[in-house]
Chain A
Amino acid sequence: MVALSAAEVRFIQGGIAHDLRSDGRGRYHFRPFSIQSGVIPQANGSGRCKLGATDVIASVKAELGRPPAGRPKHGSLVISVECSPTAAPEFEGRGGEDLSLELQRALERSLLGGPSGAGAAIDLSSLHLLEGKVCWVLYIDTLVLSSDGNLLDALSIAIKAALNNTGIPKVEVLASTSADEDPELDVDNEESSPLDISRVPITITLTKVGRHYIVDATAEEESQMTAAVSVAVNRKGIVSGLTKRGGIGLDPSILADMISVARHVSQTLIPSVDAEIAASESRAAGS
């Protein structure tokens, strides 16, 4: 929990009103972030994102599974979020479950592409192996290690880095004898192919404090929010998921305004995230 005095609250609110926040940022500026790829060698792909004092890890494990019901030619994505008690003592025991679930649902909304899977972050038909029988299931497991606000955006950056780092093992389907039998598969873990991540969105959360809204709020700023809107935007500027959280109602006109600000911020943020991911990949390959 963040405990703030009345003077601190006024300082934060006044700073936001004057477009000069406590750490010197403007309203639409992100904190500096760093990305580390391949931090979990046991996974097919992984990434760690540090955004200020917020620190999250995402890992991708590819397993063979059955295609989702009604979509025999698709693979599937499964997302989970865990909040480690290292991030805050309140997450001890079952304490982090509410927050984990809220973050998980928001990520599912922006990455899974609805019941038809049409707007999913990864082209689900590329995960398909044998119609109605076998497909790849990508388990995206994320862990919050340290929390200083804006967890959702940090998680989406870590997931993008992890997906970029992921290699899907090459699979050969050996001619199966009959339609009823389970097919035989030959998984070659030596050879793997990368995923197409051009559609993976980055979430940008706009937090409303007083009459203004800001991006990338710290824990102190989040404690003063009246409402927050998280917008998932991909490289082309297409919005693929929305979540409104917290507090008071929002005027529909403000909502439209917030979405356009999120898209505007994404135009500078996404290229810098992509550049950082590419840099960390070459670092990981070099070491």
Chain B
Amino acid sequence: MNKSVYDSPDQVSETKRHILTVLVDNEPGVLARVIGMFSGRGYNIDSLNVAEVSNDENISRITIVTHGTSEVVSQIEKQLLRIVPVHSVTNLDQEGSSVEAEVALVYIYISDTNKKKVYQLCDLYRARKIENENNTTIFEIAGASERVNRFIKEINEITKVEIVRSGPVAISSIQKKEEE
């Protein structure tokens, strides 16, 4: 409702986080088309993830986390569907209807004083040790974004870290799949 240069009525719904999964033909430029639509029309991308998903290698799934009012997100969905190589757009925003996960790799500086705390925390969050050398260890943590956020917040309070995150991917939950 508010994509015109003209005064628009007050926003009618609140801004919320939405996860969209977009199935696309795996052809050159398709990611640029999707991203370009977002930047060209002034929409936000909070995170984005692309991977081939089908066996025949012809189809990729793009998972986009965005935020906006329900009107804006509905426009985003329609604009995505206009893109020729886009097969389908699914909004996984309904609570409980989807599961999401992301991976973070965390580079942790360990000293004798914080070692115990770090390992305790990693155990608590089931973060897996991947590599270890001298004073630094690389941990991997997977799960919902919120869980990863909490882990990062807590580990930050203990020691210096470096982080890389994949951004979430999501899929309809089993219950919803069965309904379909």
Question: Are the chains A and B members of one assembly?
Answer: no
- Residues of B with Cβ closer than 8 Å to A? none
- Residues of A with Cβ closer than 8 Å to B? none
